[in-house]
Structure 1
Amino acid sequence: MSDEIKPIEDLEQRLHRRKLEYDALSIPEAATQQAVQAGIRKATRQRKSRLRWMMSSVSAAAIILIFTGCIRVSPAFASFVEQLPGMDSIVSLIRQDKGLMMAIDQSLLQKVGITDEHNGTSVTIEGVITDESRMVIFYTMKGIQNPKNLMYDIKLLDKDGKDLPVGFSYSYPNPTSDEDIYENMINVSFTESLPPQELTVVFKEGKEADANEWRITFPVDHSLTQGMKRVIPVNETLVVDGQQINVNQATLYPTRLVLDMTYDPKNTKKIFGIGDLQLVDEQGRVWTTKEASLPEDGMSAFFESMYFSIPKKLTLHASGIRAVDKDKLHIQIDPTSGKIEGGPQNLKFLKKEIKGKDMILHFNITDSENANSGLSFTNIKDNKGKAFEIKGVSWYPSDAEASITIENGATAQGALDMELFSYPVLSQSPFTVDIPVNP
């Protein structure tokens, strides 16, 4: 056995043990709740606003459980793990992104290794991989004083100290085999801007003004993926559940494929999303999507990249659309009497709850059991015309129930007028579209 192969097999054994640990986890139902930051309610109108989804470490484990597959590790990927010591416990999560794995195999990882330390706790940006569309930042934390409280707020700043105009998501730090080291990654999406030449990542502990804060500034090397972009025209129009959808083009980057679609403005329904999107190649391999950008007139779906493994044939599959008649988008709720006017027939108001200064509204949506998208609203006003913002959204798939937290909603007077921003009910109208990757 060669010296090169043995470290790879050792890594495979560690990954296999980690997979067995996750397989044995009992994931509580609460871990499937979606925690949506306040910015999401305006995402379609303020595309430059930062959209941050945060999940507990258990939720991250739940994501890992979604995917299965044989564990094989290339020498390049083994080298990647060696470069980022202590990060093997999230390798299983990284490995489920075939495009990211292939990009790493192509030596597109930029090693950073810069640390900031305060009061015995340090944060290290270990490495980054980026192209014109996406950036993944790998980090570790050491010496966490209170492992039970891993609530860290993360900011991304440009060279002038201003918030980077991007969307990004992250999970709370996960423990590693070393009890003193935690780690995870930050997933950044560039929709209207290019990656910065210099980036500062800020970690803040809790919400207190005097909370500990860690700042790491590092240059971003764009040369590794410069010019790596391929535009694939599609230009297909289809009708789904009576609504017209235009599949315009796919743009292929090393870290992901972006599929752009627009909706006909003459549609009678507002489309909130498309269900179970996936790309399937001629070998039956599935290239999944986990994210989407939702502008007002369509969507951009982000898939695993096949940049370094172009298939002979690629087909888009979907199970249907989430849509509501445009004349049922506005609803009025009297939180006190429970009366609801407008909206879809299967939307039921259950109760209100006052928690401090906030108001929590509870709903039931029939025919939405186990939906992977929840309920949300925008343009919320009381009968005095006072505007309110959504502070948080929770979705309980198995019960088909949702709760909406309205910031400072305890002061709202009379009935609330609001507009649907997201709706989980999926029409069963599957469709397929061929993507001409080899015209």
Structure 2
Amino acid sequence: MSDEMKPVEGLEQRLHRRRLEYDAMTIPEPDTQQAVQAGIRKATSQRKSRLRWMMSSVSAAAIILIFTGCIRVSPAFASFVEQLPGMDGIVSLIRQDKGLMMAIDQSLLQKVGITDEHDGTSVTIEGVITDESRMVIFYTMKGIQNPKNLMYDIKLLDKNGEDLPVGFSYSYPNPTSDEDIYENMINVSFTESSPPQDLTVVFKEQKETDANEWRITFPVDQSLTKGMKRVIPVNQTLVVDGQQIYVNQATLYPTRLVLDMTYDPKNTQKIFGIDDLQLVDEQGRIWTTNEASLPENGMSVFFESMYFSTPKKLTLHASGIRAVDKDKLHLQIDSESGEIEGGPENLKFLKKEIKGKDMILHFNITDAENANSGLSFTNIKDRKGKSFEVSQLGWSPSIAEASVTIKNGASAQGALDMELFSYPVLSPSPFSVDIPVNP
């Protein structure tokens, strides 16, 4: 065996041990179902939303369990892991993203290795990979006394200390083979801005008093992926359930492919999304997505990148659209009587709950069992014209029940006037479209 392959073999052995550890874990089903929560912060003037997903270590462990079934890694990727101590377990999370794996194989990872420590607990930004569309930040935590109780918020700041105008997601840290080191990554999306030259990542404990804060600042090396962007014109029109969808273009970056689509403003329905989107190449390889940006009249879908394995042909597949007639988007809810005026016929109000300053509305949506998206509202006003925002969403697909938390909603006066922002019912109309890619 060559020396080059020894790190690979060692990494695979460690990952195999990690899989055995997770196989032995008991993951309670209710905990897994309730582990993911979404909080929406809506910029009222721009009618756009930022979504942050936070998963417990239990759900993260479940994800690791899924993707450690068959571990084969390249020497380049093994070298990446060896350079970042304690990060071997993150391979199982990255492995689901073929494009990110290939980008790291191409030596596009920037090693950072900067640490901040407080009260015996340290946070280290190990490395970052970025292009014009996406950034992935790898970090580790060390010296955590009680990881089950460690809840923290993350902020991303520019050189002036201002919040970056980006969407990002993160999970709570996962254990590594070293019992004192925990790890994870932050996934950043640049939809309205470009990567910063200098970035500060702030971790802050969710405690009312004596909350620790870890702050790490580092320069972002944009030269590693400079000029690595390719625009692929598509310019095709689809008609789904009588609604026109324009597939405009695909933009290929090292970390992902962005497919831009717009909806005909003359459509009779408001399209909230397209389900089960995937790209399939001429070899039958599937390039998946689990993220999308939703502008007012369309969507940008983020797929795994095939930048370093460009296919000759791609076909876009989907199972149908989620849409509601435009004349049923606005509704009024009297939370005392439970009466709804307007809105879709299958939207049923269940109950109102007051929790502190917030109001939680519970709904049932018939014919929406097992839908993979939930219910939300925008432009919420009470009888006196006071505006409110949604702060948290809940969705139970097995029973098609949704909860919508309205921030400071306990002070609302009278019936609430609101507009649908997302709706889960799928119209099962499968379709596909070819996307030509030059070799």
TM-score (norm 2): 0.95
Mean Cα deviation higher: 16-25 or 165-174:
16-25
Cα shift at 1:227? 0.6
Paired with 1:425 and 1:145, the residues of 2 have a C-alpha distance of: 44
Cα 1:43–1:228 shift into 2, 3 Å: farther
1:180-202 CA-to-partner distances (Å, cap 9, x unmatched) read 11110000111121111110000
Provide the identity percentage: 85
Q: Could you tell me which residue of structure 1 aligns to residue 237 of structure 2? A: 237
Residue 51 of structure 1 aligns to a residue whose secondary structure is: strand
Whichever residue aligns with residue 36 of structure 1, its letter is: A
Whichever residue aligns with residue 297 of structure 2, its letter is: D
Cα 1:434–1:19 shift into 2, 3 Å: farther
Q: Could you tell me which residue of structure 2 aligns to residue 274 of structure 1? A: 274
Instruction: Please give the root-mean-square deviation of Cα atoms over the aligned residues, in Å.
Output: 1.9
Is the 8 Å Cα contact of residues 328 and 344 (structure 2) preserved in structure 1?
yes
State how 1:48-197 maps to structure 2 within 5 Å.
Answer: 50-64=50-64, 70-197=70-197
Q: Could you tell me which residue of structure 1 aligns to residue 27 of structure 2? A: 26
Residue 26 of structure 1 aligns to a residue whose secondary structure is: coil
Is the 8 Å Cα contact of residues 138 and 184 (structure 1) preserved in structure 2?
yes
Paired with 2:116 and 2:73, the residues of 1 have a C-alpha distance of: 31
Listed as ranges, the gaps of 5+ residues in structure 1 are none
Whichever residue aligns with residue 72 of structure 1, its letter is: R
Q: Does 1:211 align with 2:211?
A: yes
Residue 149 of structure 2 aligns to a residue whose secondary structure is: coil
Q: Could you tell me which residue of structure 2 aligns to residue 375 of structure 1? A: 375
1:286-327 CA-to-partner distances (Å, cap 9, x unmatched) read 100010000001000000000000112110000000111111
Higher RCO (CA < 8 A, seq sep 6+): 1
Residue 260 of structure 2 aligns to a residue whose secondary structure is: strand
Cα shift at 1:4? 2.4
Cα shift at 1:118? 0.9
How many residues are matched? 437
Q: Could you tell me which residue of structure 2 aligns to residue 338 of structure 1? A: 338
The equivalent position to 1:36 in structure 2, one of 35, 38, 57, is 38
Cα 1:278–1:205 shift into 2, 3 Å: same
Cα shift at 1:382? 1.4
Paired with 1:176 and 1:267, the residues of 2 have a C-alpha distance of: 51
Paired with 1:66 and 1:175, the residues of 2 have a C-alpha distance of: 16
Cα shift at 1:26? 3.4
Paired with 1:324 and 1:179, the residues of 2 have a C-alpha distance of: 50
TM-score (norm 1): 0.95
Could you list the structure 1 runs, at least 4 aligned residues long, displaced by more than 6 angstroms after superposition: none
1:119-173 CA-to-partner distances (Å, cap 9, x unmatched) read 1111100000001110000000111233122211000000111111111111111
Q: Does 1:45 align with 2:46?
A: yes
Cα shift at 1:61? 3.4
Q: Could you tell me which residue of structure 1 aligns to residue 348 of structure 2? A: 348
Paired with 1:241 and 1:65, the residues of 2 have a C-alpha distance of: 39
1:249-308 CA-to-partner distances (Å, cap 9, x unmatched) read 000000000000000000111111100000001111110001000000100000000000
Is the 8 Å Cα contact of residues 270 and 323 (structure 1) preserved in structure 2?
yes
Paired with 2:56 and 2:47, the residues of 1 have a C-alpha distance of: 27
1:203-236 CA-to-partner distances (Å, cap 9, x unmatched) read 0011536411111000000111111000000000
Listed as ranges, the gaps of 5+ residues in structure 2 are none
Is the 8 Å Cα contact of residues 350 and 363 (structure 1) preserved in structure 2?
yes
